[in-house]
């Protein structure tokens, strides 16, 4: 039996059968339901429990635009390459689909056609050669440009005087250590603005304290993984001041989504000022002495450091200059005294699954502790 007729018969039979029409209806409905539920999930998932702890408003003030609006050297080169590859592949797509569409319309079966197959052609050296050589050339160009970009990004030489930062991924927060400057901070990375004429890049050494994470700030650079027992490196040289949002990009446990990064890019004088402030020890001894006592006499000190106190823990973020940071819990909440009280009282309310336990402090102790913590500027 001839293929076209078989197909036509099959089509007619299934097209008339009630059961198959019904099953198409069910699948269409399932698809619509799937899209609706995905849309709904996207709407409700972000502020878990209906509360976003001030983060929605805070993040809306930060200029958006992701991978295609870079403000830093490696991201810029990667974006240029992406546009080039997109342009080449879009041209191929348009040509191939244009020809396909033309053929489908121009050579479609018409009622006046004679009911027989058209003439069959086999073999054409010119066509075979063309559709082997042209794709080969295109792939060769794409490979060359990609290799060049990879070499530029990964083979970049470190200029003298570059800022070094050790980035250590934890479940679920970021530790930033500036070994040359004697600074330890968390979740908010400060880097100086880099003048393209005299670049002052920041070199990041990526490590992990537990599982694999991935450091990704789309407007500054591509993703690089943080892998236990391995050191990866990357660099950024931002040429526009501002705050840039990033995200852990490797699933690392329940709060992977709440492992946000903020990068503060500021002109050199402002950066130096920040450095000087971070190097100061914690607040003076006298203020809010009882709150400090609560901190020092509880398990807080086994996880957190506050320079100048008995707290030397390294399991959790360094809190010496806690109030110089905009957020709590790695981007879970805006850093305000009210949020801080909720966070210390019951961290799981803001970040379910967080490894910091609720300390079950009395209301008095909690009030005094937070009153002392807000002096950690």
Residues that bind ligand CUA (CB under 6 A): 169, 172, 213, 248, 250-252, 256, 259
| Minimum separation from the CB atom of position 250 to ligand CUA (A) | 5
Q: H helices within 107-194, ranges in order?
A: 125-154
When the beta carbons of 76 and 218 are compared against ligand CUA, the nearer one is 218
When the beta carbons of 227 and 264 are compared against ligand CUA, the nearer one is 227
When the beta carbons of 159 and 228 are compared against ligand CUA, the nearer one is 228
When the beta carbons of 259 and 376 are compared against ligand CUA, the nearer one is 259
Which run of H or E residues covers position 210? Answer: none
Task: Please provide the DSSP assignment of 35-78 as one string.
Answer: HHHHHHHHHHHSSGGG--TTHHHHHHTS----TTS--BHHHHHH
3-state SS of 352-368 is CCCCCCCCCCCHHHHHH
| Minimum separation from the CB atom of position 232 to ligand CUA (A) | 14
* Cβ atoms of residues 294 and 372 within 8 Å: yes
Query: Which residues, listed in sequence order, are joined to residue 169 by a DSSP beta bridge?
Result: 174, 208
| Minimum separation from the CB atom of position 144 to ligand CUA (A) | 34
| Minimum separation from the CB atom of position 218 to ligand CUA (A) | 15
When the beta carbons of 170 and 321 are compared against ligand CUA, the nearer one is 170
When the beta carbons of 141 and 231 are compared against ligand CUA, the nearer one is 231
Which run of H or E residues covers position 28? Answer: helix 18-45
When the beta carbons of 215 and 274 are compared against ligand CUA, the nearer one is 215
- For tokens 């054409």, name the residue: 124
Ramachandran angles phi, psi of 239, nearest 5°: -115, 15
| Minimum separation from the CB atom of position 98 to ligand CUA (A) | 43
| Minimum separation from the CB atom of position 150 to ligand CUA (A) | 24
Chain-centre distance for alpha carbon 96: 34
**Cα 173 to Cα 347: distance, rounded to the nearest angstrom:** 14
Q: Tokens representing 253? A: 């446990």
When the beta carbons of 68 and 251 are compared against ligand CUA, the nearer one is 251
| Minimum separation from the CB atom of position 340 to ligand CUA (A) | 23
- Among 209, 217, 189, residue whose Cα is nearest residue 327: 189
| Minimum separation from the CB atom of position 252 to ligand CUA (A) | 3
- Among 185, 164, 135, 208, residue whose Cα is nearest residue 325: 185
172 cis-preceded (ω within 30 degrees of 0): yes
| Minimum separation from the CB atom of position 165 to ligand CUA (A) | 17
When the beta carbons of 241 and 257 are compared against ligand CUA, the nearer one is 257
- Among 353, 302, 343, residue whose Cα is nearest residue 322: 343
* Cβ atoms of residues 370 and 340 within 8 Å: yes
Q: Tokens representing 204? A: 């990041």
């Amino acid at each position: 039996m001839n293929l076209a007729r078989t197909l036509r018969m099959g089509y007619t039979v299934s097209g008339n059968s009630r059961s198959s029409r019904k099953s198409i209806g069910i699948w269409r409905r399932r698809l619509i339901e799937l899209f609706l539920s995905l849309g709904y999930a996207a709407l409700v998932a972000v502020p878990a429990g209906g509360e976003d702890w001030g983060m929605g408003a805070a993040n809306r003030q930060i200029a958006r635009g992701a991978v295609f609006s870079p403000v830093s050297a490696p991201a810029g080169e990667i974006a240029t390459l992406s546009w080039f590859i997109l342009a080449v592949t879009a041209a191929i797509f348009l040509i191939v689909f244009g020809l396909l569409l033309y053929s489908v319309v121009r050579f479609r079966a018409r009622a006046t056609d004679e009911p027989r197959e058209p003439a069959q052609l086999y073999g054409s050296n010119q066509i075979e050669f063309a559709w082997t050589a042209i794709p080969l050339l295109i792939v060769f160009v794409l490979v060359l440009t990609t290799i060049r970009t990879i070499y530029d990004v990964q083979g970049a030489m470190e200029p003298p005087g570059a800022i070094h930062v050790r980035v250590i991924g934890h479940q679920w927060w970021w530790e930033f250590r500036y070994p040359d400057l004697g600074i330890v901070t968390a979740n908010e990375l400060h880097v100086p603005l880099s003048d393209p004429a005299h670049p002052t890049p920041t070199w990041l050494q990526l490590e992990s304290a537990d599982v694999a994470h991935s450091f990704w700030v789309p407007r500054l650079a591509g993703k690089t993984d943080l892998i236990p027992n391995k050191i990866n490196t990357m660099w950024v040289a931002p040429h526009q001041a501002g705050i840039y949002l990033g995200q852990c990009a490797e699933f690392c446990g329940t709060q992977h989504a709440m492992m946000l990064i903020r990068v503060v890019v500021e002109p050199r004088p402002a950066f130096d000022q920040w450095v000087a402030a971070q190097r100061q020890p914690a607040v003076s001894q006298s203020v809010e002495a009882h709150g400090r006592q609560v901190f020092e006499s509880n398990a807080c000190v086994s996880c957190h450091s506050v320079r100048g106190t008995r707290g030397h823990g390294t399991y959790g973020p360094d809190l010496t200059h806690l109030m110089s940071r905009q957020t709590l819990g790695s981007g879970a909440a805006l850093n305000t005294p009210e949020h801080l009280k909720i966070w210390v009282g019951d961290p799981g309310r803001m970040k379910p699954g967080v490894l910091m336990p609720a300390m079950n402090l009395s209301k008095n102790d909690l009030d005094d502790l937070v009153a002392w913590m807000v002096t950690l500027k």
